[in-house]
Amino acid sequence: MELTSLGSNIAFFSRSFQTEQENSFTRTPIRLSELLTMTTFKQISQIMSEQSSTPNQIELFGELYQRHLEQLNDPIEWNQLTSPPAESILNYDKLDSVSADETRSLLSELAVCRLNGGLGTSMGCVGPKSAIEVKNGQSILDLIVSQIQSLNTKYGVNVPLVLMNSFNTDTDTEKIIKKYNGRLPITTFLQNQFPRLRKDSLLPLSAEKYGVQSFYPPGHGDFYQSIAKTGILDRLLEQGKKYLFIANADNLGASVDVKILNLMKQKAIPFIMEVTPKTRADVKGGTLIKSDNHSLRLLEIAQVPREYQETFKSVKKFKIFNTNNIWIDLFELKKKLENNALHLDVIVNQKTVNHLPVIQLETALGSGINNFEGSMAVQVPRIRFVPIKKTDDLLLVQSNLFLFKDGILMKNPDRQFEGLPLIRLGENFQSVEDYQQRIPSIPDILELDLLTVVGNVYFGDNMTLRGNVILVCESGGLHLPDQSLIENKVMTGQIKLGEL
């Protein structure tokens, strides 16, 4: 299938090829952007068709490809980037409280979608990350279901739960959710899969040679087209749902908040992004900037020129980041999609497959913010962003720093410090299996500020860690005694009880 909308680029591609010849003659390195313009989408679409991509997937990938070509002529001017105006970011603490009757009415118009496309491979697990056990035998998905079920029971409403799966997680998720039958109806839909492009030729990887690694889910910005194409958007509207709360499945801090929902309804805001102050743990998180038309715009680190990425990571220029907790007016979303008026920034994500450099064209969910007039951001407490990316995060949420009630994560009131401790576990702790073997019982970390663990370290039972703790064992083994207290210490090698 060849996209007619790309046909006008043929002459442009020809001129680009001539430029390539000139670059080759002068031995000037050819940039990725120049290579991309030299590859016609006709070749890509033919390969996609041969690899059993659907006509709809080919069309959507063509639109993504075309938007990227357009962005090449509109690069980010770093020196012109500014933080958004203060009035466009509301403080959560200033939002109005909501009565029980108002809550019931608001919830009757709400649906919840969790983005469930991620695998647990970074922690050595097989299957969806949402299946990882977090606390008291409950998985991430168990806690999500418990949240929605508790809301529905308490207020006598029917807030539906929707999961957006990727081709990596769909089969396993469908098996897992059967255990919730009779407790909570769950609807799933599948986001698109697009071909990874070789960095050298910008043609799709060979599916015959690379199998499933030839494809990728194109980021959570694919939510918009996928929820519409699968008919889920229309189904929610038919059920009388007006608003949708969306969050990453692995964000344990994400839950329905009626104060934000009430703000959306009362002020007729079509799109709300939750942001929170940036910390040392959030240096790569996307931030908000002011766009040319003074609306809000999401900026991801992959969009930042390499020479400015360290500046992007600091808290001096950008002090907030996107939690990816998003609230959307479903009627406004429907209108945008019908008018083909939803345009997301394309992110070029560079990866390797079996040591072969590839690129993925992706979009971000939060990039929708500058498509809706009147969009706003709400600066929320840090507790609303507690993602599980690594075992470092797992140790945090499994500790006594947090409590769970009806599936909702709450900070332990006994924690006297404002922020959370910074935890860095070494390579020996990065799989869940190794993590559980080396930390048989979770230590008391209520008064911990920093924990760094490197090497062959084993924790004892019922330990307490306070202040700044650094544990290093480059050879042999460091076995920490049961019921020991370690406070503001650096320890290396083997230890004796008297050293604690």
Contact 312, 304 (CB under 8 A): yes
Alpha-carbon distances of 237 from 115, 160, 244, 247, rounded to whole Å = 20, 12, 10, 19
Is residue 450 within 8 Å of 429, Cβ to Cβ? no
- Distance CA(115)–CA(165), nearest Å, equals 7
Query: Do 242 and 82 meet the contact criterion of CB atoms below 8 Å apart?
Result: no
Residue whose pair of structure tokens reads 């907030």 in the numeric block = 320
DSSP strands (E only) in 168-286: 186-190, 194-195, 197-198, 215-216, 243-248, 271-277
Contact of 162 with 169, CB cutoff 8 Å: no
- State which H helix or E strand residue 48 sits in: helix 41-50
CA-based nearest residue to 260, from 386, 133, 379: 379
Q: What is the DSSP string of 69-104?
A: HHHHTS---GGG--PPPGGGEEEGGGSPP--HHHHH
Q: How far is CA 55 from CA 62, 422, 476, in A?
A: 10, 47, 58
The DSSP result for 342-411, as a single string, is: --PPPEEEEEEETTEEEEEEE--GGGGGGGSTT-EEEE--GGG--B--SHHHHHHHHSTTEEEETTEEEE
Contact of 215 with 196, CB cutoff 8 Å? yes
C-alpha to C-alpha distance for 261 and 103, rounded to whole angstroms: 9
Residue 426: Cβ within 10 Å count: 16
Residue 416 DSSP SS3: coil
The dihedral through the CA atoms of 459, 462, 463, 466 has a sign that is positive
Backbone φ and ψ for 32, nearest 5 degrees, come out as -55, -40
The residue among 151, 149, 132, 148 whose CA lies nearest residue 140 is 132
Instruction: Answer yes or no: 389 catalytic.
Output: yes
Q: Which of 317, 389, 411, 489 is catalytic?
A: 389
Question: What span, in angstroms and rounded, lies between the C-alpha atoms of 500 and 488?
Answer: 10
CA separation, residue 32 to residues 7, 301, 333, 358 (Å): 21, 18, 33, 11
| Catalytic positions | 389
